[in-house]
Amino acid sequence: MNMEDTQADTARDGTVGDDGPSTKPELDLNQFLPYRLNSLADRISQALAQLYEERYQLNIAQWRVLAWLSHCDELTAKKVCAYTNMDKARVSRAIQALEDRGLISRTPSPRDQRLHDLHLTPAGQVLLAELIPAAQAWEAELVATLTAGEYRDLLNVMRKLERQLERIGDKG
Partner DNA sequence: CGAGCATAGTTGCTTTTGAAACTATATGTC
Partner DNA sequence: GACATATAGTTTCAAAAGCAACTATGCTCG
Residue 79 and residue 85: Cα distance in Å, rounded?
10
- The minimum distance between CB 96 and a copy of itself, in angstroms, equals 21
DSSP 25: P
80 binding a copy of itself? (CB under 8 A): no
Which residues inside 39-78 make contact with a copy of itself, applying CB under 8 A? Answer: 39-45, 47-48, 64, 67-68, 70-74
- The minimum distance between CB 52 and DNA, in angstroms, equals 13
Residue 154 and residue 146: Cα distance in Å, rounded?
10
Applying CB under 8 A, the site for a copy of itself has a residue count of 70
- The minimum distance between CB 83 and DNA, in angstroms, equals 12
Q: Which of 130, 52, 129 is nearest to 97 (CA)?
A: 52
132 binding a copy of itself? (CB under 8 A): yes
Dihedral (Cα; 107, 109, 115, 117), 10-degree rounding: -50
Q: What angle do CA 56, 58, 60 make, to 5 degrees?
A: 140
Taking a C-beta distance cutoff of 8 angstroms, is the pair 104, 69 a contact? yes
Report the interface residues with a copy of itself, using CB under 8 A.
Answer: 1, 3, 6-9, 22, 24-29, 32-45, 47-48, 64, 67-68, 70-74, 82-85, 125, 128-129, 132-133, 135-136, 138-139, 141-146, 150, 153-155, 157-158, 160-165, 168-169
